[in-house]
Structure 1
Amino acid sequence: MFDVNNLDFLNDTNPLVVLMCGITGSGKTTFARQLEEKGFIRLSIDEEIWANNGRYGIDYPVEMYGQLSQTAELKLREQLLHLLKERRNVVIDFSFWQREKRLLYKKLIEDAGGSWKLIYLKVHPDELRKRLLLRSERFDANASFKITEELLTSYLNGFEEPQNEGEIVIEA
């Protein structure tokens, strides 16, 4: 799918933070895990919620997801700052679907002495549907709830595609 070995920024001298950006099912976690194998620390909201609260709609009510997501993000943001102080490389396995959130994290990283790369995994909606269908057969932190056609449509409509933000676009 992706080969992170072809990315020249892996030799950056500053602590590097890779911001994963894309719609659910675009391959962010797969890409982030490849960076993890290269020594990056991976931060994931989905896995943080899963580890601390369990399964969506089973161990906690569906209505709590928004609050749990915010709490997990704040915890991971603090962890990010700590890792940057330690001069560690980090990959943030979030969707970064809002431009405002991307800008916030870029500033946070720069203010902490790090550098960033924004990786946008651009995938055609038909391919997303195929991937999400396969993913729905798993039951783990990254597939903890089914992405319906209605939910995917809302994600596609709400996604703010990066443009002129220093993004590296990988089409898959």
Structure 2
Amino acid sequence: VATVTVATATGAKTASASWLLHFPDREPLTVTFSPPSTHAEVLDAYPAALVAAEPIESGRRHHDTPLAGDQEAAVLAWLSEIGETDETTIADVLTLCRQDEEARRYFLGRAVEISANDDRRCCSQCGNLRSGVCVVARPGGRVSAIVGYRPASPDVLQRCAGYSSTASRN
């Protein structure tokens, strides 16, 4: 049985709005208090958190928070644009974006800088993608593919002659 040792000042009067609670019989839980609460108040509210309760520093999340598909695609596009190909570095950046709000804002901001000059779009952004099917796909057409074509990676940036930002969506 593994134990988690967390240095906390149980008698501390410092209050925090976000806390990470550790339990002996389940996964950790992130909770938010308004107004911010002290360690003692958190333990009063969650007495089953017998292992530990630790404040979460502002902007930081201890559990992975999934990036939206377009956010991950934007960060990956930026990394590609700057020539980053090391898989470990790419994985580290994505992990950091999932765990740290400030890092997420930074990398998404960098991605926006390059996207201003980028004419690529994701199929998921296209008005011609309906229920996962490209409605303009035809052999020899604007999108030369089989009728009923479903993009395998609709969140990957690409250039497409069939892209439409104005088509009505159903």
| Structure 2 length-normalised TM | 0.20
Q: 1 or 2, which has the higher helix percentage?
A: 1
Higher gyration radius (CA): 2
| Structure 1 length-normalised TM | 0.20
